């Protein structure tokens, strides 16, 4: 991608080359990820816009790989659901309603974290060591370990020690801490 310092950047959703295309691609990717945390699968429209940019651009910046990456994000509905569940859990515990009456939410939170764990295990069974899943879990490993410990999800900690072995020690600490 070439850049001309005498040229201004202008947003145009129909530009498929130059630095604007790269910025648009990542902007749509970021928006898609953000929307998926609020409403399940609501980022699809923006992921598709990223695919469109990658499809229409020449391959000077690895657009083919970027297109494949976005397709793997869209197609891994289990990870998208797990991400939604994770952020839904955090949104609930950070809400004023939760802080005012925690007991009303205990069963719901337990259901959410168990479903999150089920989605991660299902990813492993169907896909194996998925790069995007490992990135997500790795980035949020401490919070996930805390939540699993809080909900006594020891089989989940056991699983994560194997699946996300880079953070095995962290999971082991939360396992021991909660026994």
29-79 confidence digits (pLDDT tens): 999 999 999 999 999 999 999 999 888 877 667 888 888 999 999 999 999
pLDDT of residue 56: 83
136-156 confidence digits (pLDDT tens): 999 999 999 999 999 999 999
Residue with tokens 């952020």: 87
Please state the φ and ψ torsions of residue 80, each to the nearest 5 degrees.
Answer: -60, -40
94-106 confidence digits (pLDDT tens): 999 999 999 999 9
pLDDT of residue 20: 79
SS (H, E, C) 68-94: HHHHHHHHCHHHHHHHHHHHHHHHHHC
pLDDT of residue 54: 87
């Amino acid at each position: 991608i070439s850049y001309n310092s005498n040229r201004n950047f202008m947003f145009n959703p129909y530009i498929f080359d130059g630095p604007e295309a790269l910025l648009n691609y990542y902007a749509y990717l970021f928006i898609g990820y953000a929307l998926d945390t609020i409403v399940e699968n609501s980022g699809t429209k923006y992921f598709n816009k990223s695919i469109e940019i990658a499809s229409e651009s020449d391959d000077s910046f690895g657009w083919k790989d970027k297109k494949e990456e976005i397709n793997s994000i869209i197609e891994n509905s289990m990870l998208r659901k797990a991400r939604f569940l994770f952020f839904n859990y955090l949104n609930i515990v950070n809400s004023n309603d939760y802080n005012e009456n925690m007991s009303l939410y205990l069963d719901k939170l337990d259901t959410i974290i168990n479903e999150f764990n089920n989605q991660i295990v299902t990813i492993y069974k169907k896909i194996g060591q998925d790069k995007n899943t490992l990135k997500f879990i790795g980035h949020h490993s401490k919070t996930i370990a805390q939540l699993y410990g809080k909900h006594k999800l020891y089989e989940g900690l056991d699983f994560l020690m194997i699946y996300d072995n880079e953070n095995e020690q962290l999971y082991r600490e939360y396992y021991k801490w909660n026994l």
